């Protein structure tokens, strides 16, 4: 059945590429087949996307004259942030979102965009400091004072500690794929928003721990371990979907027929997406870290060990 499910990937991609006019996604609404391929998102989602981009642009404009020697770094960060923002917008406001109410496989593509495409790119864009610079001067001073608060600092370090971030991401992924919680997200807009927020937030913490805090031999080695173990447990979950002969989420019922699939084939395809492309992303990230590790000069290694 896995081979049959794999063949369904092509018509699904073609169907998504043929998306129609804008329409806000509402998991509680009644859908027609055209709604499965609609663009748009709820107004508050679009507002947050626009605000995040506006703050980044304003912050970058204010930082640019002050950072002549750091401009190449700022350009790289801005490129990463822009790519991550586009991926996030595609995940939340493209037909990936609306078709997720019809197809489990489409829902898995959306989740992968959130967790293994948008999240690491946004982390590499390092937006927090630039967002602060985008605020009015009074708010900027207050935000800086708040971040120096011992309680806030302790909470941030606890959340971004690699093991804690790994555990939070693990818990979010598995908790939301338990049938009752996943189905609750399909039936309620509020639960659906909470599901996506927890996926994105835990993924941002995970990739921050892996990409932004790795330093020295021990830190980089630990980052590779966290990537490998995440690949293993996400791959295991994907394999369970792919191999199962039971329908995990009856909510979908016959809706997958909009993409030419049975519910079981759609579930198996979603499992394959999580298992193969999803796992490959962690492998690629691990190989990049290994290459950087092996390519360091002795001076770089000594500097990293001294941090």
Residue 301 has pLDDT above 60, yes or no: no
In whole angstroms, what is the distance from residue 201 CA to residue 115 CA?
9
Q: Contact at 8 Å (CB) between 261 and 8? A: yes
pLDDT of amino acid 25:
47
Does some domain include residue 89?
Answer: yes
| Burial tier of 150 (Cβ tally within 10 Å: 0-12, 13-18, 19+) | exposed
In whole angstroms, what is the distance from residue 57 CA to residue 168 CA?
31
β-pair partners for 22:
39
Tell how far CA 11 is from the center of its chain: 24
pLDDT of amino acid 221:
77
Maximum pairwise Cα distance, the chain: 62
Does some domain include residue 33?
Answer: no
Does some domain include residue 54?
Answer: yes
Does some domain include residue 32?
Answer: no
Residue 305 has pLDDT above 50, yes or no: no
The total domain count for the chain is 1
| Torsion angles phi and psi, residue 39, rounded to 5 | -90, 155
Does some domain include residue 241?
Answer: yes
In whole angstroms, what is the distance from residue 133 CA to residue 154 CA?
23
Mean pLDDT along residues 147-159: 86
How many alpha carbons lie under 13 Å from residue 270 in its C-beta half-sphere?
30
1, 115, 263 from 244: Cα distances, Å: 10, 24, 12
Contacts of 290 (CB under 8 A, 6+ apart): 224
Does some domain include residue 24?
Answer: no
Residue of 290 and 54 predicted with greater confidence: 54
Closest Cα to residue 124, out of 55, 181, 208, 50?
Answer: 208
Q: At what angle do helices 43-63 and 71-93 cross, to 10 degrees?
A: 170
pLDDT of amino acid 296:
60
Does some domain include residue 117?
Answer: yes
Residues 25-78 have pLDDT tens digits of 455 444 455 556 678 788 899 999 999 999 999 999 998 888 877 888 899 999
Can you tell me whether residue 274 is helix, strand or coil? helix
pLDDT of amino acid 3:
43
Residues 101-146 have pLDDT tens digits of 888 999 999 999 999 999 999 999 999 989 999 888 888 888 888 8
Does some domain include residue 28?
Answer: no
Q: Contact at 8 Å (CB) between 185 and 27? A: yes
DSSP structural state of residue 211: I
> Token pair for residue 285?
């990230």
- Structural domain including 150 reads 2-19+39-305
54, 76, 83, 129 from 60: Cα distances, Å: 10, 12, 16, 10
Closest Cα to residue 168, out of 199, 145, 144?
Answer: 199
Closest Cα to residue 118, out of 160, 86, 84?
Answer: 84
């Amino acid at each position: 059945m896995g081979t049959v499910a794999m063949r369904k990937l092509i018509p699904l991609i073609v169907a998504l590429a043929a998306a129609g006019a804008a329409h806000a996604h509402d998991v509680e609404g009644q859908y027609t087949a055209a709604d499965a391929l609609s663009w748009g998102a709820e107004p508050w989602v679009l507002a947050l996307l626009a605000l995040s981009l506006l703050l980044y642009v304003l912050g970058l404009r204010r930082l640019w004259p002050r950072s002549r020697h750091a401009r190449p770094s700022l350009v790289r960060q801005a490129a990463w942030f822009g790519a991550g923002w586009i991926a996030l917008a595609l995940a939340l406001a493209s037909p990936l979102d609306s078709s997720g109410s019809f197809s489990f496989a489409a829902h898995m593509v959306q989740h992968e965009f959130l967790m293994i495409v948008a999240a690491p790119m946004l982390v590499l864009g390092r937006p927090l400091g630039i967002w602060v610079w985008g605020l009015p001067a009074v708010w900027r001073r207050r935000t800086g004072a708040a971040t120096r608060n011992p309680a806030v600092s302790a909470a941030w370090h606890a959340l971004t500690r690699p093991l804690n971030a790994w555990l939070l991401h693990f818990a979010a992924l598995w908790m939301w794929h338990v049938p009752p919680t996943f189905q609750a997200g399909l039936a309620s807009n509020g639960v659906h928003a909470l599901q996506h927020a927890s996926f994105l937030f835990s993924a941002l913490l995970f990739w921050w721990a892996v990409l932004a805090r790795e330093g020295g031999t021990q830190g980089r080695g630990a980052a590779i371990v966290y990537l490998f173990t995440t690949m293993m447990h996400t791959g295991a979950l994907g394999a369970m979907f792919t191999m199962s002969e039971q329908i995990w989420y009856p909510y979908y019922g016959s809706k997958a027929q909009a993409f030419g699939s049975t519910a079981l084939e759609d579930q198996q395809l979603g499992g394959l997406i999580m298992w193969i492309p999803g796992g490959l992303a962690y492998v690629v990230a691990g190989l990049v870290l290994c290459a950087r590790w092996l390519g360091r000069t002795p001076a770089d290694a000594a500097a990293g060990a001294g941090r």
